Homo-oligomer: A and B are copies of this chain.
């Protein structure tokens, strides 16, 4: 995974046009700053692995994989804004609106979103094995996970919940996480599978896998926030308790949350039955990593 992340980092760095702009490098610099501010590159790695398990070569899906990280970065920049989560730090560095300013952060997010679609739709960056109709389908899949079916919807409902003091019911909590977290992981996986030439049945299975690890990702996040120190996490621990945020441990308890992790991990792996075990291995490893990570 570390090896994949290094490769993705290099490709991301080249994907942002690196030229001297005639009037101002501000927009470019803000995009570059946030995109290269670190991160585990889970979404691109998922996309590449899904392409392989569906019958393609990993490299085929690289443009779409880069797009998933650009979309993810856009959502972090916008969610960090003062009018939303108002965060000054992200991965130990200043957030985009702190390092630059608010308007630049809004516009850098917009520009990264557009760059994602420019990158993913660029026919000439795919090999001939990947037909234009697969590329158009992949673009549609990426687009769908951002708006009312994904990131933005999840954030709007999440913000509505923080405005009321009541505890969030379990179905609403799941709705938020399926939109805020799982939808993009799902799109990354399905996009890779489409580009790799997966059958409809394979794509459905991989969609199920991704939804399970999407929810898993969030439940583990909730557990870590409660059980680890800030030193162990490398970020402020106990934030959820301090802000009285509804989490899985709060709603169903820590033990049941840990059982839920095992259940979701089992569900994810079950969806990989029927695939060649060797090409399924990276996706199994990713699911284990998400479940058992310590930060």
Interface of A with B (CB < 8 Å)? 17, 21-24, 26-28, 31, 74-75, 78, 81, 83-84, 101-104, 106-118, 121-123, 131-133, 135-137, 139-140, 142-144, 146-148, 151-153, 155-157, 159-160, 172, 175
Kindly identify which residue among B83, B111, B151, B153 contacts A21, using a CB–CB cutoff of 8 Å.
Answer: B153
- Supplied contacts A103-B156, A117-B117, A117-B142, 6 more A-B pairs, CB within 8 Å: A78-B106, A78-B107, A81-B103, A111-B153, A121-B143, A123-B133
Q: With the chains together, A146 CA to B175 CA distance in Å? A: 31
Q: With the chains together, A84 CA to B146 CA distance in Å? A: 23
Give chain B residues whose Cβ lies under 8 Å from the Cβ of A116: 143
Give chain B residues whose Cβ lies under 8 Å from the Cβ of A84: 103, 106
Contact flag A113-B111 (CB < 8 Å), given A23-B172, A24-B157, A157-B24: no
Q: With the chains together, A121 CA to B27 CA distance in Å? A: 27
**Cβ contact within 8 Å between B110 and A109:** yes
In the assembly, how many copies of this chain are there?
2
Give chain B residues whose Cβ lies under 8 Å from the Cβ of A112: 147
Q: Give A139's nearest chain B residue, CB to CB.
A: B121
**Cβ contact within 8 Å between B118 and A144:** yes
**Cβ contact within 8 Å between A114 and B143:** yes
Which of A24, A108, A144, A147 is most buried by chain B, counting CB atoms within 10 A of its CB? A147
Q: With the chains together, A131 CA to B108 CA distance in Å? A: 32
**Cβ contact within 8 Å between A156 and B118:** no
Contact flag A153-B113 (CB < 8 Å), given A84-B106, A132-B136, A136-B135: no
Kindly identify which residue among B81, B114, B137, B152 contacts A147, using a CB–CB cutoff of 8 Å.
Answer: B114
